[in-house]
Amino acid sequence: MSQLQKLMLFLDQKSGSEEEISEEEMLASYEQFLLEVTPKLVSLPKLLASFCDIQSFTHSDLMLQILFNYMPSYQSDIQKDDDFFFLHAVDSKLRDKDQHLLNQSLKHTCKQLKSSQRSYNSPILNSLMSVSLLFSGLSDDMGFADTLGDVEKEIGYLPIFQLETFDDDMDDLFTNNNQADLDFATASFTRLITMVLVFFDTSALSKLLDHLTIKGKDNAYDLNNLWMKHSILLKKWFVLSNVDLFLTLNRYMQNNKLIDQKYSLKMNRFSPYISGVS
């Protein structure tokens, strides 16, 4: 049995199954697969084709880590960090290759899932979207803030700090039995605009925000108004998977005549200027 076949069997395990292993065994397996399933040993098209058959989300973290190793920027000698701040020091040509590779992978995976009549809300498509978000240039605070500044020059000011008033303590997420009662307004809105910027565009974001709220005389969106009017909707969107949120936003914007036709799934990357990084 090849290492790829062993990986497929491992990934398809479901949480709570009889085959479930201890945490120590799981970490050891992760490390072994990360060493043995690499671009030199398994081509990306072959890997994606195999991942399309996986239905269990139990080991999606491993799937994600394996996909990292296929990204040109991740193969660079620059020291990596969990927030992906290192991307701002990566040569733009390498980042262009990341984007091209991800868009080809998203297109190929959608096509294969459709042809095999599998759900788009699959581990592999969600993982590819997670990789796209991480490699977009928006996953670290500085990259997000700098890009947001450029976006605001086009569409209007987004005073995200206004939403802190509605935020519950994140610690309550683990202690409150009724999580539906919790509000994470800042996180919900930040995820929403990140998804729209990465998988749609600035024009779509502008039209969506104009639909959801109002602007003041200072060209600033009223985010207090947005949350008070649409908190139920944004809370529903916040808990959706990457795939379901993309499909939901596509449908919502088309139904409300904000876009003429649905967007195909592809990612945008951003190159914010970060002082001291070259």
pLDDT attached to residue 48: 96
- pLDDT for residue 9 is more than 90: no
C-alpha 82/C-alpha 68 separation (Å) is 12
Task: Determine, yes or no, domain membership for 265.
Answer: no
Q: Are residues 160 and 90 in the same domain?
A: no
In a domain, 260, yes or no: no
Quote the Cα angle for 271-98-90, to 5°. 50
Share of the chain above pLDDT 70, in %: 90
Q: Which of 235, 266, 269 is nearest to 250 (CA)?
A: 266
CB 234 within 8 A of CB 252: no
**pLDDT reading at 197 higher than 90:** yes
pLDDT of residue 225: 96
Q: Are 112 and 57 in contact (CB under 8 A)?
A: no
Q: For residues 119 and 7, state if they share a domain.
A: yes
pLDDT in tens, 141-175: 999 999 999 999 999 999 999 999 999 876 655 55
Whether 35 has a pLDDT exceeding 80, the answer reads yes
Q: Is 147:138 a contact under the CB 8 Å cutoff?
A: yes
Higher pLDDT, 28 or 213: 213
Pair (232, 117) in one structural domain? no
Residues 126 and 150 in one domain: no
Q: Does residue 69 sit within a domain? A: yes
Strand runs labelled E in 195-255 = none
Amino acid at 224: N
> Angle at Cα 142 formed by Cα 136 and Cα 145, nearest 5°?
85
Segment 200-255, tens digit of pLDDT: 999 999 999 999 999 988 999 999 999 999 999 999 999 999 999 999 999 999 99
**Is the same domain home to 117 and 233?**
no
Give pLDDT, residue 171.
Answer: 63
Please tell me the distance from the alpha carbon of residue 229 to that of residue 212, in angstroms, as a whole number: 8
Residues 189 and 127 in one domain: no
pTM above 0.75, yes or no: yes
Please indicate, yes or no, if residue 274 is contained in any of the structural domains.
no
Check whether residue 78 and residue 200 sit in a common domain.
Answer: no
Statement to judge: residues 9 and 71 lie in one domain = yes
Q: Are residues 129 and 163 both part of a single domain? A: no
Please check whether residues 182 and 68 belong to one and the same domain: no
Query: What is the Cα–Cα distance from 69 to 104, expressed in whole angstroms?
Result: 16
What is the reported pLDDT for 115?
A: 95
Query: Residue 37 falls within a domain, yes or no?
Result: yes
Question: Residue 26 pLDDT more than 90?
Answer: no
Q: Which helix (H) or strand (E) holds 115?
A: helix 92-115
33 with 154, same domain: the answer is no
Q: Assess whether pLDDT exceeds 60 at residue 15.
A: no
Domain shared by 7 and 121, yes or no: yes
Q: Output DSSP code: residue 259.
A: S
Q: Is residue 262 part of a domain?
A: no
For residue 277, pLDDT beyond 60: no
- Check residue 18 and give its pLDDT: 47
How far apart CA 62 and CA 211 sit, in angstroms, is: 39
Residue 180: predicted pLDDT = 57
Rounded Cα–Cα distance for residues 8 and 52 (Å) = 10
Give the per-residue pLDDT at 12. 81
In a domain? residue 179: yes
pLDDT one-digit tens code per residue, 93-112: 999 999 999 999 999 999 99
* Within a domain: 237: yes
- Residue 58 lies in domain: 3-15+23-134
* Residue whose pair of structure tokens reads 């733009």 in the numeric block: 92
User: What is the maximal distance between C-alpha atoms in the chain?
Assistant: 67
Contact yes or no for 73/133 (Cβ under 8 A): no
CB 102 within 8 A of CB 135: yes
Helix axis angle for 202-212 and 141-155, nearest 10°, is: 70
| Domain count within the chain | 2
Asked whether residue 186 carries a pLDDT value surpassing 70, the answer given is: yes
Rounded Cα gap, residues 252 and 278, in angstroms:
40
Residues 81 and 74: their CA atoms lie apart, in Å, by: 10
